[in-house]
Amino acid sequence: MRDKVAIRRALISVSDKTGLIELATALSKAGVAIVSTGSTAKQIAAAGIAVSEVSEVTGFPESLDGRVKTLHPAIHGGLLADLRLDSHVEQLESLGIEPFELVVVNLYPFVETVSSGAGFDESVEQIDIGGPAMVRASAKNHANVAIVVSPERYPAIIEAIEDGGTDLELRKQLALEAFSHTANYDAAVSSWLAGQLGSERLSLGFTKSGDLRYGENSHQAASLFVDGNTGVASAKLLGGKEMSYNNFVDIDAAVRAAYDFSEPAVAIIKHANPCGVAIAEPRAEDPIISAYIRAHLTDPVSAFGGVVAANREVTAEFAASLSQVFTEVIAAPSFSPEALEILSKKKNLRILELSGDYKLPSREIRQISGGLLVQEPDSFEGLDVSAWKLVSGKPASPALMADLEFAWRASRAVKSNAILLAKDLAAVGIGMGQVNRLDSCHLAIQRAGDRAAGSVAASDAFFPFADGLEVLISGGISAVVQPGGSVRDEEVIQAAEKAGITMYFTGERHFYH
């Protein structure tokens, strides 16, 4: 293969115009002939840079509303010709086709269009055809052509221009990025269409964001891959050390727990389990600091070294309070300038700013040996507490029902078997991850201590026996919410009635393994 390839002719057709003019300017100064399409050509020309339209090269106008413009031998011959072969060089000359040494293409914004809620026809129109064909052709012919699919690579190309051309190693790297780009694009289209048609096919497209120091343990290698959607994986690190594998796992759980609530809420997570969850007091002057303080009081010992997520902007008061506790990560949709200044002084604290509006993924995927498990996410969309069935005691007052709903929402984030005690819209005791529900009940009461008296309890699944509920009753709880559905429901109901406590059945569970 040829090592250094001088750039004499470039083809540019981009949806993302970031850095376009800077690149085109560098190419023009180096005497590179630029060929372009549609809006890309117009923007280059408007900057006073010489550019030829693709139609001038093909002798054929763009047609069918732009669907056909680069699909032509005069273009693809210039992309695919292997100039190491005399026969290819001779054929280009006989056909009057000039080769390209640089191709800059990124594709129609299909993923963004679908994410915006666009309809079927509008989404289909954003499926790029000519773009992937040019990208793949150029990547295949990387011995002769440098293919660029991201503005992030423009500086490397500008440097190569100044250095006399692209070297083989760079072109190989660009080819890999190009094939990954089209693979992810096709996977996004395939996955979306499968969802539309109910197909039994699943295509996944992820791009490596970077390597992590190690995985769950120091002897395990690990990397981060992203799918282009908003979420923890694409959050912006504003300060502190790089994120670790465990940091990502924990903060993802924390963000999801905080966003289970529409009210200002804070979740504190340790080893993927909540050790604090709370929403703001109804009339708090600074709601998010109110939520944080109450969440921290759930289990201050376990909160040490945990991660924290808020569903509102972090204020200076919140930051000042948080900075007094050793915390690995803080994630929020935004940070006030004063809060960021305070938190940035904690060198080991990772500060994550969530990008875009947080929402649950459309599906959850878990790898098992030989395959994948795929499910819809567990959410509270359409939750209607008025549909709960009162099976024991008096109907809950509005305040008591608010606590029961809070406990029910918060229990989703707790690993099964899960029992969560709450009072005044804050968790006060959590029993999690036990292999029987009785132990989870004991643990929740133990951790709540004196605060168990008068609290409400949520169980993520039914009580298989009355013994677990009896432990909670002995601890002083005043009401319970649980799915119901056990063959011994009547036994459990009788225990609740004997104690005179209110109990509701929801008809659905919230296992979290």
The strand pair at 479-482 and 456-459 is best described as: parallel
Distance CA 56, CA 196 (A): 40
In angstroms and rounded to an integer, the radius of gyration of the C-alpha atoms of the chain is 29
Token pair 């200002």 in the structure block, residue: 264
- What residue spans of 82-223 are helical by DSSP H? 86-95, 110-115, 120-125, 130-140, 154-162, 168-197
Token couple for 181: 């780009």
Contact, 428 vs 276, CB < 8 A? no
Amino acid sitting at position 396: A
Q: Please choose, from the candidates 401, 389, 289, the residue with its C-alpha nearest in 3D space to the C-alpha of residue 336.
A: 289
Q: How many beta carbons lie within 10 A of that of residue 119, not counting itself?
A: 10
Angle at 455 between CA 450 and CA 456, to 5 degrees: 145
List own/partner pairs for 83-90 with CB under 8 A and 24 or more apart.
83/2, 83/144, 84/1, 84/2, 84/143, 84/144
Find the angle CA(347)-CA(352)-CA(354) to the nearest 5 degrees: 170
Is the distance from CB of 232 to CB of 256 less than 8 angstroms?
A: no
Closest CA to 505 of 356, 389, 370: 389
- Which letter does DSSP use for residue 269 in this model? E
**CA separation, residue 347 to residues 233, 239, 343, 400, 415 (Å):** 21, 8, 8, 42, 31
Helix, coil or strand: residue 10: strand
Residues 300, 305, 309, 312: is their CA dihedral positive or negative?
A: positive
CB proximity list for 192: less than 8 A, separation 6 or greater: 110, 114, 123
Tell me the C-alpha distance between 385 and 78, whole Å.
65
**Enzyme catalytic residues:** 140, 271
What crossing angle do the helices spanning 437-448 and 466-475 adopt, rounded to 10°?
Answer: 10
